[in-house]
Amino acid sequence: MTDVSEGRLTVQQLSWCDVETLTSALADTVKATDIGFDHIVAVSRGGFVPARLLASALRVSRLGSIGVRYSDAQRKTPEIVASASGLRPSDKVLLVEDAIESGRSLMHAAEAIQPQVELLKTAAYFRQPTSIPDLDFVVEERVQLPRFPWE
């Protein structure tokens, strides 16, 4: 990790090597549960890279995405703009984000997917202590989130 100054704020910049380490740690946590996930769904856009990397680490071949946008400045009125396709009622789904700030997008995505599948679990590399949802799998809780290589 490298510290990068942005005005008065110093942000940690993650390297791709850092991301590989985070993915391995997250995958190990998921594997420890013995849940055989059938489908991994990325919350766009931040979840795309982690979901793809986790799909490889967990040997899950079905990968999709869901998009959430908001029509108001307070981010309280969600609109699902791209729903995960190919979900089956018997699926065990892992819903993935890179980091959770407020948690609203993850929560709304989960609400859209949950009725369609047998089991839904959530995962992210990082979460802030003040975020809404409890994650099923997380590597670390941080007050200040780092910047990812894809940002």
User: pLDDT for 53-94, tens place per residue?
Assistant: 999 999 999 999 998 888 777 677 777 787 788 899 999 999
Put the strands of the sheet holding 39-44 in their side by side order. Answer: 78-82, 62-70, 39-44, 92-100, 119-127, 137-141
| Of residues 145, 148, 117, the one with CA closest to residue 130 | 145
| Of residues 40, 10, 38, 13, the one with CA closest to residue 146 | 13
User: pLDDT for 86-126, tens place per residue?
Assistant: 899 999 999 999 999 988 889 989 999 999 999 999 999 99
Give the pTM. 0.89
